[in-house]
Structure 1
Amino acid sequence: MADPAGSGVLVLDREQTRAAAPPDAVLAAVRTALIAVGRGDVSAPPRVAAHSAHGLLGAMPGYVPRLGLSAKLVSVFGAGGADGHGAHRGIVAHFDAETGRPLAVMDAEAITAVRTAATATAAMLALARQDAARFAVIGTGTQARAQIGFIASMESAELVVGARDPGRAERLAAELSRGSATSIEAAVKTADVVFCCTSSRQPVVRRSWLADGAHLSSVGGSDGPEFDAETLRASSLFVEWPGAVTEAPPAGAWELQDTDPADAGLIGDVLDGRHPGRRSATELTLFKSTGHAALDVAAASVAYRQAREHGLGIKVNL
């Protein structure tokens, strides 16, 4: 749809981008995008990246019908922050899908965090047991915080934060006034649902820790695997797009490089009712997220609409 707002590009800083991307609206848009991916309606090439000595700069353009046209430039640098966590920094540009005119530029870290947490939440709602009540978030960085934000909106959800440094987990839980904290192993062993949100290069979740019938969501691991091979072998696997299996990192997943593509179901097909998803209460389900441009389009479309409605950002001529 052509933009009626006139000339100029809307620029949103980090806090404005966060304010313009309410979780419930992003969750709805992400569901639309995932279903579109499953139906083959999305135009989005595999992510490409330029590598420096310390990290990478990735490019992710995408078009999703009903949501729009966007592109993300994001740098992924390990242990770049003061807290030792990896960092995802960059910009998302949102365009008029009819004219190609740039409409908005916004913070990529905020967009990535909310769309990734929304995607993991959509997958969890589709795949976890209906009686799931105890949720473990593994990690203490930006992505873990975003995921906790989604869990906090769920009634009667019991949260535990797990980390390699239990003290860091305790500080996060205390800061957010939400849940308890413990080691990764203890958190996983008692959880119905596990959200793994780390920058680890080695597995931090093991099959022997996961209870039968649990659901595992892995959204980190840009530089290596977050879960062990035994977890993959024991699980029913779901992904955002076929390239999670068929493409090499950074487009595809480290954990899935030797996986038969036929063994990976699309989460969009589950949301669309074309795949049954979980088949039993004891089944171990696994959602591996690599990120996809369609999800950035979803979050950017929400942020642009909300920013215009609420007067956020500034207009500049580019």
Structure 2
Amino acid sequence: MLIVPESEIANLITRQAAFDAVEAVFAAMASGEAYNFPVVREALGHEDALYGFKGGFDRGGATLGLKAGGYWPHNLEKRGLINHQSTVFLFDPDTGKPRAMVGGNLLTALRTAAASSVSIRHLARADAKVLGMIGAGHQAGFQLRAALDQRDFAKVIGWNRDPAKLSSLAAVAAEAGLPYEAVTLDGMAEADVIISITSSFDAILMAGQVSLGTHIACMGTDTAGKQEVDPALLARATVFTDEVAQAVSIGEAQHAVVQGVIAEAGIHQLGAVINGTHPGRQDDKEITLFDGTGVGLQDLAVAAAVVELAVEKGLAIEVDF
């Protein structure tokens, strides 16, 4: 079995490689070549932590495995560790033997950012100029950098419950040579693309705060009860997701479906747009929304790419397991 420790991940994966892996997985899911297993996600009743498993099988990519991990909200303040902790395990689909164990913390951040950037590539208006960010936590910088790769943005605007943390978004915008402005939620009407990346359990962005033609990537809702946007916003939009079943159970769509403002049948796979079996955006006034719930196949695809690179560069540790 091969081990690729967390400390080596940054030397082995790029945003482009993560994008390519996630885009290919979305396409494979839509064509039926890959599927995810049911998610297990539970509150531990210890340290206020959420812990779970996400897994799947990609027949075409010969990738089988799972990610184990979750969210420990007190890690940063108590221990100086990031709050999200995870490890990816890959298995040989022909034999079931363990193939690799890969540090999953940076991979999770990169694949989550890659998923929203894939949605921007395929659904945002070509002339999008203003990028709006809701949330300024650990993941937000990854999201912002990945999004800036997809369009020729001219400005970044941001909102966070704690305005003091917005300096991290301003720093990333400056790194890209772009102006940055902190705004109210009403100010998000200026944005052509909005990314929400929070751990909220209450709607933050309201339907009336989004302009026609906007693309929204909702990336923080991945657990029953979580919520970032008004269900009425999903009713205004054409809704896409990574996996429909997961979107209606633990994604942003869970609230809109329960309230009857959208139907499960009206939610589309982003992979169908990539494959060309769904037209995607129809005009410049259409609001599109990507409900990014985070599927296990994303983790497996990016981890498999990392293992391949680690072997090539002699950085993988081989153990007799």
TM norm structure 2: 0.87
Greater Cα shift, 121-130 or 236-245: 236-245
- Alpha-carbon spacing, 1:155–1:243, altered in 2? closer, same or farther (3 Å): closer
- Alpha-carbon spacing, 1:254–1:153, altered in 2? closer, same or farther (3 Å): same
TM norm structure 1: 0.88
CA drift of 1:97 comes to 2.7
Q: Determine which of 65, 71, 82 is the counterpart of 2:66.
A: 71
- Alpha-carbon spacing, 1:218–1:170, altered in 2? closer, same or farther (3 Å): same
- Alpha-carbon spacing, 1:280–1:172, altered in 2? closer, same or farther (3 Å): closer
Asked whether the 8 Å contact 2:144–2:172 carries over to 1, the reply is no
- Provide the secondary structure at the position in 2 that maps to 1:202: strand
CA drift of 1:267 comes to 0.5
- 1:167-226 deviations in whole A, cap 9, x for unaligned? 211244236634414135155221100011111111121111111100000010345110
Q: Which residue is equivalent to 1:236?
A: 238
Greater Cα shift, 78-87 or 129-138: 78-87
- In the TM superposition, 1:80-229 aligns within 5 A as 80-82=75-77, 87-154=83-150, 156-158=152-154, 159-174=156-171, 177-178=174-175, 179=178, 180-185=180-185, 188-222=188-222, 223-229=225-231
Distance in 2 between residues matched to 1:147 and 1:166, nearest whole Å: 18
CA drift of 1:100 comes to 2.6
Q: Which residue is equivalent to 1:34?
A: 26
Residue 22 of structure 2 is aligned to residue 25 of structure 1: no
Question: Match of 1:177, as an amino acid?
Answer: A
Asked whether the 8 Å contact 2:128–2:151 carries over to 1, the reply is no
Residue 56 of structure 2 is aligned to residue 59 of structure 1: no
Asked whether the 8 Å contact 1:30–1:299 carries over to 2, the reply is yes
- Alpha-carbon spacing, 1:271–1:197, altered in 2? closer, same or farther (3 Å): same
Asked whether the 8 Å contact 1:244–1:256 carries over to 2, the reply is no
Distance in 1 between residues matched to 2:205 and 2:151, nearest whole Å: 26
Distance in 2 between residues matched to 1:9 and 1:301, nearest whole Å: 11
Question: Match of 1:62, as an amino acid?
Answer: G
% of aligned pairs identical?
27
- 1:65-122 deviations in whole A, cap 9, x for unaligned? 3431121001223454329999321210122233333232122221211111111111
- Provide the secondary structure at the position in 1 that maps to 2:131: strand
Greater Cα shift, 161-170 or 206-215: 161-170
- Provide the secondary structure at the position in 2 that maps to 1:81: helix
- Alpha-carbon spacing, 1:60–1:287, altered in 2? closer, same or farther (3 Å): same
- Provide the secondary structure at the position in 2 that maps to 1:233: helix
CA drift of 1:141 comes to 1.7
Residue 5 of structure 2 is aligned to residue 12 of structure 1: yes
- Alpha-carbon spacing, 1:45–1:137, altered in 2? closer, same or farther (3 Å): same
What RMSD, in angstroms, separates the aligned Cα atoms of the two structures?
A: 2.5
Residue correspondences, number: 308
**Structure 2, unpaired ranges of 5+:** none
Asked whether the 8 Å contact 2:120–2:150 carries over to 1, the reply is no
